[in-house]
Amino acid sequence: NAIAESGRVVLDGILFDYDKATLQAASKAALEQIAAYLKANAQQNFYVVGHTDAKGTFAYNQNLSAARARAVVEALVKDYGIAPARLEPHGVGPLVPVFSNASDAGRERNRRVELVER
Amino acid residing at 9:
V
Total domain count, the chain: 1
* Bridge partners, residue 91, by sequence: 50
* Bridge partners, residue 50, by sequence: 91, 113
Q: Is the pLDDT of residue 3 over 90?
A: no
Confidence at residue 108, expressed as pLDDT on a 0 to 100 scale: 83
| pLDDT per position as a tens digit, 84-111 | 999 999 999 999 999 999 999 999 888 8
User: For the purposes of burial, counting CB atoms within 10 Å of the CB of 106, is it exposed (0-12), middle (13-18) or buried (19 or more)?
Assistant: middle
Whole-angstrom Cα distance, residue 62 to residue 60? 5
Whole-angstrom Cα distance, residue 4 to residue 21? 28
Prediction pTM value: 0.90
Q: Spell out the residues 6+ positions from residue 50 whose beta carbon is closer than 8 angstroms to its own.
A: 64, 65, 66, 67, 68, 69, 70, 72, 89, 90, 91, 92, 112, 113
Kindly state the average pLDDT of the residues 20-26: 90
| pLDDT per position as a tens digit, 30-79 | 999 999 999 999 999 999 999 999 999 999 999 999 999 999 999 999 99
Whole-angstrom Cα distance, residue 54 to residue 110? 9
- Give the domain CATH number at 110: 3.30.1330.60
Give the residue numbers spanning the domain of 61. 2-117
